[in-house]
Amino acid sequence: MTTDHFAERFAAVRQRFTAKLASRIDEIEATIPQLGSDEAFDALARAHRRAHDLCGIGPTMGFVATGQVARTVERILLEPLKAERALTTDELARLRQEIVALRSAARAEIQSGQE
């Protein structure tokens, strides 16, 4: 009985995670226009926090590839965050590429979970 209850609760948590995943990625992407500006710090902190959250909870919810790509996004954001500076042009380009990869990984894992 306990195992079934745990499985049901985990499935519900996973379903909520899955339902919010695209909007979490959207939140990171929405910060991009601000990340290259002089006022990047708040947006950078938000984007980093969201990527960090996906790194941690993604694999726990069965989204291993999503978590791995989110870790790459987090790494791109970490150095500028620590230095309290805007992203360079190269960092912004890498971030855009990784967000595309993040969406792709999330989409694939959502799809495989529905089959």
How confident is the model over 56-83, as a mean pLDDT?
96
Closest CA to 44 of 18, 70, 82: 82
Give me 64's structure tokens: 């291993």
* Domain ranges, residue 91: 2-114
Q: What is the pLDDT of residues 20-55, one digit of tens each?
A: 999 999 999 999 999 888 778 999 999 999 999 999
Query: Residue 16 and residue 113: Cα distance in Å, rounded?
Result: 13
pLDDT value of residue 99: 98
pLDDT value of residue 97: 98
Task: Give yes or no for a contact between 48 and 77, defined as CB atoms under 8 angstroms apart.
Answer: yes
Task: Give yes or no for a contact between 48 and 27, defined as CB atoms under 8 angstroms apart.
Answer: no
Q: What is the pLDDT of residues 79-101, one digit of tens each?
A: 999 999 999 999 999 999 999 99
Task: Give yes or no for a contact between 108 and 65, defined as CB atoms under 8 angstroms apart.
Answer: yes
CATH number, position 40: 1.20.120.160
Number of domains in the chain: 1
